[in-house]
Amino acid sequence: MDSSLQATSSTNVPVERARDLSHDLPDLGYDRSRTWRLGIMGGTFDPIHNGHLVAAEQAVGEIGLDLVLFMPAGSPAFKQDKLVSDPDDRYDMTLLATSDNPTFIASRFEIDREGVTYTVDTLQALRDYYSDNVELYFITGADAIIDIVSWRDAERLAHLATLVGATRPGYDLEAARKNIAASGIDFDVRYLEVPALAISSSYLRDRVRRGKSIKYLTDEAVVGYIHKKGLYGTEAHT
């Protein structure tokens, strides 16, 4: 046990407990003669859709990622006052949508952790779990990156991973760049333009609520799952 880790972690869930959740982390980095690039696709995934899948695929191609862990947030930090679907449903849909791609792995890592999900805890646990020849790339929406300076332990987070902000074409990155520059924190941020991000989870939820088709907007198995479980039917998810 690295005692410095314990001392620096300000989480409500100790990092050593998160480390015990390493059961679904892929074996990576064993060949020390090369660098491994691990993408962590962070999101609520309520539900996962083709925009997320295309963004991850683009990150694999443009950054040269070896694997992407799709990690639904258990209890998203900035959504404590919002209605979010059951974590197991969000995980199951993520599993269904990623199962045909060997480069994509659905992970329960954040789902199985109690308490509010803070990205810094996840990245610290991953950094601690993997050897130094594994580089971490945290991929999420550029809208989320805008607020990164107010995330828990932002300064520590900046040292743990390269951040990848996925945007739709034409998205104004000025606000994100300004916030990050003003913070004085040395974030390593890359942006990916992903046309498929015209699709959003809220768009899918809204269509389901109005009885419209979501076919081809997400994986067929996810469409079936949503209908079978009656997700997004009546509740006011916003």
Contact residues toward ligand NAP (CB under 6 A) are: 41-44, 52, 55, 73, 76-79, 117-120, 139-141, 143-144, 151-152, 166, 197, 200-202
SS3 223: helix
Toward ligand NAP, which CB reaches closer, 107 or 140?
Answer: 140
Toward ligand NAP, which CB reaches closer, 152 or 209?
Answer: 152
Whole-number minimum distance, CB 72 to ligand NAP, in Å?
A: 8
Whole-number minimum distance, CB 208 to ligand NAP, in Å?
A: 14
DSSP 40: E
Toward ligand NAP, which CB reaches closer, 41 or 180?
Answer: 41
How many Cα atoms occupy the beta-carbon half-sphere of 166 within 13 Å? 29
Whole-number minimum distance, CB 119 to ligand NAP, in Å?
A: 4
Q: Which tokens in the block code for residue 94?
A: 């993520």
Whole-number minimum distance, CB 201 to ligand NAP, in Å?
A: 4
Rounded to whole angstroms, how far apart are CA atoms 94 and 137?
19
Whole-number minimum distance, CB 174 to ligand NAP, in Å?
A: 16
Give the sign of the dihedral formed by CA 129, CA 131, CA 134, CA 137. positive
Toward ligand NAP, which CB reaches closer, 22 or 202?
Answer: 202
Rounded to whole angstroms, how far apart are CA atoms 27 and 38?
11
The residue nearest ligand NAP at its CB is: 141
- What region does 213 belong to: left with phi over 0, alpha with psi -120 to 50, or beta? beta
Toward ligand NAP, which CB reaches closer, 77 or 173?
Answer: 77
Q: Which tokens in the block code for residue 146?
A: 């805008």
Distances (CA, A) of 206 to 12, 17, 114, 128: 34, 37, 29, 40
